[in-house]
Amino acid sequence: MIHSRIAEELKLALSPVAILFSNERPEGAQGFAEGKWGCVIALLNVAAKGRVAVLDAKSGRGGGHIGMGFCEDYAHTPGGIEYFLSTGRGEGYPEGERYIKTPELARSFVDAMPRMTIPYQYIVLKPLEQVTEDEKPQSVVFLVAPDQLSPLVVLANYDRSSPDNVIIPFASGCQSIGILVYQEAKKPQPRAVVGGIDISARPFMKPDQLTFAVPYARFLEMEGNVEGSFFGTKSWEKVRERIPEPEKK
């Protein structure tokens, strides 16, 4: 079991969520039925509330599967992903999301996104405190309000000489906790990724909530930096005292 000093300082009402790769489906894990669409953020919520959730490589080929690293192919999108993200293609095709001005810009955006196909059958979303000693997460995701996001950003920069160790990219909700974080994990100095800005994912989140995702190795470094940091100052106490006390589980 993993106890997070960070979660304690932030008075999190929801558990940090560990993301793991596996070829075995956890017993009793909640997931989507095979062939059925579902937003990955819904599974994140399940895990943050204390239950194990799972995304199955066989449960579909939607955006969530691409964003979480199960496949690289956007061919499943009717009319083309560049039209779906922008203006739409017209009658008979899905309405364009209009998140990007033109199909050409949308194609450039898609081409710039990392793509990968992980060699695993399942992606497990698990409450961090339920992770066992023999498990190694890929990353950790926090669901936070502004007063909790602020110290996470500060802590992510605490032991670095540069000020840009947290990014807020334009990306889907699943990309922000999936492939973008996996990509950061490969770098010498991985950054944290703030997400939840995806308008399509917002209905699955509270109005004051965003995600903060970080590669697991970086999470451990941040945990190790809690002692001696600003968390012991009066400035932090002024913020911490206005964060509501979490309900006992």
DSSP state for residue 116 in the 8-state scheme:
-
* Structural domain spans, the chain: 5-72+115-240
What token pair was written down for 95? 């309405």
Strands 139-144 and 122-127: unpaired
The residues that bridge with 195 in the sheet, in sequence order, are: 211
What token pair was written down for 22? 């596996």
Q: For every one of its 249 residues, what pLDDT tens digit does the chain have, with 9 covering 90 and above? A: 789 999 999 999 999 999 999 999 999 999 987 767 789 999 999 999 999 999 998 875 566 889 999 988 888 888 999 999 999 999 999 999 999 999 999 999 999 999 999 999 999 999 999 999 999 999 999 999 999 999 999 999 999 999 999 999 999 999 999 999 999 999 999 999 999 999 999 999 999 999 999 999 999 999 999 999 999 999 999 999 999 999 865
Residue 62 pLDDT: 64
CA-wise closest residue to 94 among 200, 201, 175: 200
Concatenated DSSP letters of 101-121 = SSHHHHHHHHHHS-----S-S
Place of tokens 């950790």: 140
* Alpha-carbon span 161 to 62, nearest angstrom: 39
Are the C-beta atoms of residues 117 and 123 closer than 8 Å to each other?
A: no
Prediction pTM value: 0.95
